Amino acid sequence: MERKCSAIVKLVLLCAGLSAFGREAAAAEPLAVSSPDGNLTIALSLKANLQPYLPGQRAYYRVSYKGTLILTDSPLGLDFLGAPPLDQNFEIVGTDRQAHASTWENPFGAKRTVPDHYHQLTVSLRERRPPGRRVDVIFRAYNQGIAFRYFLPKQPGLEQFSLVAENTGFYFAQDVSAYAMDLGSNFTSYEDEYRHMSLREIKPTSIVGLPMLVEVPKGPWVALLEADLTDYAGMYVGGVPSVPNALVSKLAALPPLDAASMALYTGGIRQLDDFWSLLNVAGKLLKMPGSLRQGINPEELVVAKTPKATPWRVLLVGPTPGSLIESNYLILNLNPPCTLADTSWIKPGKAAWDWWSGSFARNVDFTPGMNTATMKHYIDFAADYHLEYMLVDAGWSTWLDITKPVPEVNIQEIIDHARQRGVKVLLWIPWAATALQGDVAFPLYEKWGAAGVKVDFMQRDDQEMVDFYEQTVRKAAEHHLVVDFHGAFKPTGLRRTYPNLLTREGIRGLEFSKFNDLITPQHDVTIPFTRMLAGPMDFTPGGFRNTTRGQFKAQNIEPLVQGTRAHQLAMYIVYESPLAMVSDYPEAYRNQPGIEFLEKVPTVWDDTKVLNGEVGKYITIARQHGTAWYLGAMSNWDTRDFEIPLSFLGTGEYEAQIFADGADADKVATSLSITKKQVRGGDKLPVHLAPGGGVAVIVTPVK
């Protein structure tokens, strides 16, 4: 029977008929809504001259957690091209309250049964003076966080509009620190570092990417994100002049034409002659129907028609940074349910991959490289170790035509060989050629028997590029292709609507080890608390040439990685990604300690629990798959000893297979200890983590 992806609704309460809920005059009730457990409250008020630089009666919201004010009065507003901003002199013309409780099944994530329980307040605002434009602000309060969005109803004089700014404020009530990624531009692949800083250090000129993690002194942890980014520009934040601890939204702009041309194939120009081909491709893209550049004013960030809802602005809130990881499914809840009638063809799994190692192989009777023999060699490795996929990366076609393999690659022979070995093939493609040729290429890939695509080098999240993402993943679904986005912006929950979108990059991943020393164990234990809050991240783990702190050097062929082998194994548990690369070349794995773990570890989970952790220091996560539990712990360069509580286990005996740092892992980072022991629920499992170390544990019931 086909698996349906519609929500499994347990309970839906629409309390419009109750006196405390329903549409009524705003003056009859406080304009606030609280989470089902009562811990989180978001409130709206109209105030005049709250700040001298924001004149007029404006709409402000504030957020509190367990009685502690997190965000003080923060302004709301939209700024239009050719019209006054919609941000002051409001009156409230109505409110609506709803409560909702349901669950839905997500077989492609970190938690299979997803609760969706919230209280919602909609406040309808209208300008007091002509033209009397209307806007609704919709607030949702979950136990895990709050979300709000603007909704512009269809109305005379606002049938079409162009936004030049969304002036949403996030004004923290006290001095706070943050883990932030100041990208400097919205022309970015999000492959940067999260730095710990005071919020006061974020300037009005800063362009800080999301997610951003904020630590409130003596209070909760807060993460700022966005969800349901659809036909809109991506959001960044910057500082507010003369207001400490305050942030304001910044929407992504289209890059200038010359930047767009050069960006089409960043890193892909191999010869000077290619540049003129790229300019030709750029010209074709700009002439495509629907291109926002046709006659657009560069100040226009969002061009739309009413009725129109903006993306959700989201604050995850919890007592620890680990609690935010456990509740990152909230981003999915804020997106529309899956629209696909059948998802049975969508398969998560692990993939052999040629690019990271440089299409390298040892002791073979062919010349390694981007050619048929090498790809078949990698496929044989994938089959021998029960990996579901082989990713054929850049070079199988030209950058300008993704319908024709290069002479060295017989793509049909490769896919047929993979099919015979029980392996599915993914094909790398650049975004610009995808935009131009996708209508032809995707049905062709389906005919060949390919299972999916890796789309690369977008490096933008303006409205035009956001639309490209949705169009691509929808078109891929029509041809039964899964998708991995690289050179990408952060996830915003699109994978709920299109679960064939298995993962995406948008992270400083292990590929950097080929070129520099930036992928440190400290970075490795920072990104679960920051970038992973938005969703799956294709970090591309699995390097087996492990080094201690003083041994590492960057090299393009047979790259090295910092930290221990157990540290790399633990990434497959700690990092969320339904499609996970096994990044090294086949001979780096065969007969090596740890390959047994890579065979066994799944990529999707029934439940997730964060057992301990501090940002940038260490983390331990337990994930359930069927009756088994998988534990992963990772450390920065500090040695650590602690006990992992096994209270989440059920009754009875369990066997723990432990892949841990060897006794000499502080000197020989490849050293791996593999042991087994009997455990029970309620036991504590002692672990020792070497510098840059880790541990990966498979816990299964004893029959």
Distance in angstroms (rounded) separating the CA atoms of residues 133 and 15: 28
The whole-number average pLDDT for the span 104-114 is 98
Q: What are the phi and psi torsion angles at 432 (to 5°)?
A: -65, -45
The amino acid at 572: Y
Task: Please tell me the distance from the alpha carbon of residue 540 to that of residue 542, in angstroms, as a whole number.
Answer: 7
Q: Where are the domains of the chain?
A: 26-254+299-333, 255-295+340-506
Average model confidence (pLDDT) across the chain: 91
Sequence-distant (6+) residues with CB within 8 A of 276 are none
User: Tens digits of per-residue pLDDT, 112-168?
Assistant: 999 999 999 999 999 998 889 999 999 999 999 999 999 999 999 899 999 999 999
pLDDT-based confidence at residue 1 (cuts at 50, 70, 90): very low
pLDDT, tens only, 534-590 = 999 999 999 999 999 999 999 999 999 999 999 999 999 999 999 999 999 999 999
- Give the model's pLDDT for residue 299: 87
Q: Which fold has domain 26-254+299-333?
A: Beta-galactosidase; Chain A, domain 5 (2.70.98)
Tell me the β-bridge partners of 656.
677, 699
Pull the structure tokens for residue 486: 């690289």
What value does the CA radius of gyration of the chain take, rounded to a whole number of Å? 26
pLDDT band for position 285 (cuts 50, 70, 90):
low
User: Does the pLDDT at position 366 exceed 70?
Assistant: yes
**Distance between CA atoms of residues 252 and 246, nearest Å:** 19
- Least confident window among 42-56, 244-258, 303-317, 421-435: 42-56
pLDDT of 287 > 70? The answer is: no
Q: What is the DSSP letter of 689?
A: E
Give ∠ CA 197-198-202 in degrees, rounded to 5. Answer: 85
> 255-295+340-506 is classed in which CATH architecture?
Alpha-Beta Barrel (3.20)
